[in-house]
A and B are shown apart, each in its own frame.
Chain A
Amino acid sequence: MTPRISARAWDALTSLKLTLVCLVLLMVLVVACTLAQVNLGVLPAVNAYIRSFLVWWRVPGWDVSIPVFPGGALVGLVLVVNLVAAQLRRLELSWRKAGLWVVHAGLILLFVGEFVTGVFQVETQLAIEEGQTRDYLESPREMELAIADVTDVRHDDVYGVPESLLASRKTIAVPGTPLTLHVKSFFQNAELAMTGGDARGSPVNMGVGISVEVRELRPVSGDNEIDRRAAYVEPVADGRSYGTWLVSNALGAPQSFIHEGHTWTLSMRPRREYLPYSLTLKDFRHDVYPGTDIPKNFSSLVQLVNPAEGEERDVLIYMNQPLRYGGKAFYQASFGKNDTLSVLQVVENPGWLLPYVSCVLVGAGLVLHFAFALVRSLTRRQAPLEAR
């Protein structure tokens, strides 16, 4: 029994007017996002306008936000639905229209690819000095509270508490340990200043934070700036409190306490993703055009070692020639420390091929459609000539 579909709703879903409205909305969103980057920075503006389903506006004087405009994700979704529905309604299923079917499939794939990128893409970075070996990546923006059991001389057991959990100010049980973390305060961005004695009004009674005053600031907006996250946390183990500590990525070395013979350290650091392989930077080169300071080339010669695969090889990473390995792409992004530090941007995007496939489909579809049209045109011309 096929369900009955409202004819008017189907007309609206397949209408060209809906397509035009969506395109106009996308243009408005692009302009708004571009202007918002000035205050918010690139990534927050893209997340707020393009990769969200709704654009929210904080009501002045109230602690509430209301949706005021459809976001790029919602408009894109409606556009994909419109495109698919219109194609199913208007395009006849015949060889004559095969090219247009392929073109439409390519366009749909383009939108799907952007959706996949928006949802699944993860960007991290790898900062490595010459001679150093790294087996982990770091998030450029997200922090985590790393609680490590460093008792064993051979290894550390590291438990990462994402900043999103700290920000919710809940009690956080650390699985696999006797520890429970009580988060008393979390600061998205803060200024830390050493005082001469104990910091006034601070709940901290352990570690270096006793003499540190914390003042909350607005989150940074510049792309080259990083927030100083801070939090007051109280670890409790087997009913015993180990005091209240200040943790921040602005502090230096980890702070520690001992419970039942186990030494635990606390440190706020960029969120890490550990890899099953390692990279060693053998040489970083920064070439300039002779007689100028204009950069000509940046390249990093790295040694890739994957013990599980028995793999050990050298790879040269340079501009527009990333290392693609293990589902990730390592791009040469930046450098420092007198050309001894290389910063690689690492992108993991399962949908990275979709835009290329989409372009091929659109191109092939157009060629197919025009080929059919050409053949029909030639056939029509030939028929009258034969009739004579």
Chain B
Amino acid sequence: MRRSTYRAIAVELLVVAIASMLFFASGCRREEVTHIRVKKALDATATSVLPGMGRGERHAPQARDGKSGLKWTLPKGWTDSAGSGMRFATLKPPVAGVDVSVIVLPGPAGGELANVNRWRGQIGLAPIDEAALAAARKSVKTKAGTVSIYDFSSEGQNKSRLIAGLAAVDGNTWFVKMLGDADAVGAARSDFTRLLQSLRRDAAN
């Protein structure tokens, strides 16, 4: 072959190589939303009723500000475990598809209306005003003080339901919230109500 032919072939190969490198450099890391299905992680913090305590009783640790905590009596078949982050405790009823959380925050924690509207937003409901708040509130007197209870259901074909109790105790605000599928929450409602009625100050603190 003539020298010019070698040259032409060489340049063509170089052009192909450069084009390939530039293509890979520019396009190889196109970002997109990924999806994967993973098995549930085991809850390493799950614990049963603490030994030495009365059956069904839960001794809540002290609230964060060092003032008194709260105790409650677990309904039959319910378990509890220590929470993480902002969650004080997680309660598990014997009904699947329901999440029950206990959260304590210092002070008014934003106020009752803001928190109720946040719960409503969590199940896709529009916010309400003070008048509607008062109408939706049910009050229960407990040994820890008055607990305001709210019960909301979402719209749509697969309804969700939220029942929550809110109590101001010694400068802290306690939120006990049950959330899940409407039927499951309905099945656990009476037990949850009894749990709220059992709230009392932690005598040890």
Instruction: Give residues in A with beta carbon < 8 Å to B.
Output: 2-5, 10, 53, 73, 77, 81, 84-85, 88-89, 115, 119-120, 135, 151, 153-162, 164-165, 172, 174-176, 196-198, 205-208, 210-211, 237-238, 240, 242-243, 252-253, 256-263, 274
- Cα A207 to Cα B122 in complex, Å, equals 8
The reply to whether B7 and A5 contact each other, CB–CB distance below 8 Å, is: yes
Q: Which residue of B lies closest to A84 (CB)?
A: B14
- Cα A253 to Cα B86 in complex, Å, equals 8
The reply to whether A211 and B37 contact each other, CB–CB distance below 8 Å, is: no
Number of chain B interface residues as a range: 35 or more
8 Å CB interface, B89-136 against A? 96-97, 99, 107, 110-111, 114, 117-118, 121-124
6 residue pairs bridging A and B, Cβ less than 8 Å apart: A119-B21, A162-B32, A252-B85, A257-B124, A260-B156, A262-B158
- Decide if B82 is an interface residue (CB 8 Å cutoff): no
- Cα A176 to Cα B37 in complex, Å, equals 12
Instruction: Give residues in B with beta carbon < 8 Å to A.
Output: 4-8, 10-11, 14, 18, 21, 24-25, 28, 31-40, 84-87, 96-97, 99, 107, 110-111, 114, 117-118, 121-124, 154, 156-160, 179-181
Q: Which residues of A contact B158 (CB under 8 A)?
A: 260-262
Nearest Cβ distance between residue B152 and chain A, in whole angstroms?
11
Instruction: Return the contact of A5 from the options B4, B99, B124 (Cβ within 8 A).
Output: B4
Q: Which residues of B contact A153 (CB under 8 A)?
A: 40, 96-97
The reply to whether B25 and A206 contact each other, CB–CB distance below 8 Å, is: no
Instruction: Return the contact of A159 from the options B14, B34, B122 (Cβ within 8 A).
Output: B34
Nearest Cβ distance between residue A91 and chain B, in whole angstroms?
11
Q: Which residues of A contact B33 (CB under 8 A)?
A: 159-162, 165, 172, 174-175
- Cα A53 to Cα B18 in complex, Å, equals 13
Nearest Cβ distance between residue B183 and chain A, in whole angstroms?
10
The reply to whether A206 and B121 contact each other, CB–CB distance below 8 Å, is: yes
- Cα A77 to Cα B99 in complex, Å, equals 58
- Cα A165 to Cα B30 in complex, Å, equals 10
Q: Which residues of A contact B7 (CB under 8 A)?
A: 5, 10, 88-89
Given A120-B28, A263-B99: A77 touches B21 (CB 8 Å cut-off): yes
Nearest Cβ distance between residue A155 and chain B, in whole angstroms?
5
With A160-B33, A165-B31, A260-B158 already in contact, 7 other A-B pairs whose C-beta atoms are closer than 8 Å? A88-B7, A119-B24, A175-B35, A205-B121, A240-B124, A258-B123, A274-B38
- Cα A256 to Cα B86 in complex, Å, equals 13
4 A-B pairs with the lowest CB-CB distances in the bound complex, closest first: A261-B158, A252-B85, A253-B85, A258-B160
- Cα A208 to Cα B114 in complex, Å, equals 12
The reply to whether A84 and B40 contact each other, CB–CB distance below 8 Å, is: no
- Cα A269 to Cα B160 in complex, Å, equals 28
Nearest Cβ distance between residue A180 and chain B, in whole angstroms?
11
- Cα A174 to Cα B10 in complex, Å, equals 47
Q: Which residue of A lies closest to B108 (CB)?
A: A197
Q: Which residue of B lies closest to A149 (CB)?
A: B37
Q: Which residues of B contact A155 (CB under 8 A)?
A: 37-40
- Cα A259 to Cα B97 in complex, Å, equals 14
Q: Which residue of B lies closest to A52 (CB)?
A: B25
